Amino acid sequence: MNRWLAASGFHGAMAVAFGAWAAHGAEATLPQHAIDWVRTGSSYQLWHAVALLGIAALSQRNSVRLVTISGLAFALGALLFSGSLYLLAFGGPRILVYLTPIGGSLLILGWLLLLVAGLKKGSI
């Protein structure tokens, strides 16, 4: 089992489903600002599904610890960032607004870890 490939598939499917719903059915039930939250969450989640696909490929070639931690940051960050936006759009508790920047910070951390992994001598 390749957990990164599975995580990529999960996030990709979720992002496309929410993005399609925001484009074709959300207007009947949500105000415009909530639809915008869903679109933002979908966009970020889809980009990070692609990033997780890259992590899956890298992890097959090399077991650089920073790449693994980057994958964890991407997977958890996308879930917190996009998930909190989805839940807020559906009227979830306002306390969820605190999860969005935590998720975003994890996404940034994931990219910075890839930067460091790429700069390490002989890393990839």
Residue 66 has pLDDT above 80, yes or no: yes
Q: Which tens digit of pLDDT belongs to each residue from 94-116?
A: 999 999 999 999 999 999 999 99
**Cβ-contact 80, 102 below 8 angstroms:** yes
Least confident of 22-31, 45-54, 83-92: 22-31
Confidence of residue 40 (pLDDT cuts 50, 70, 90): very high
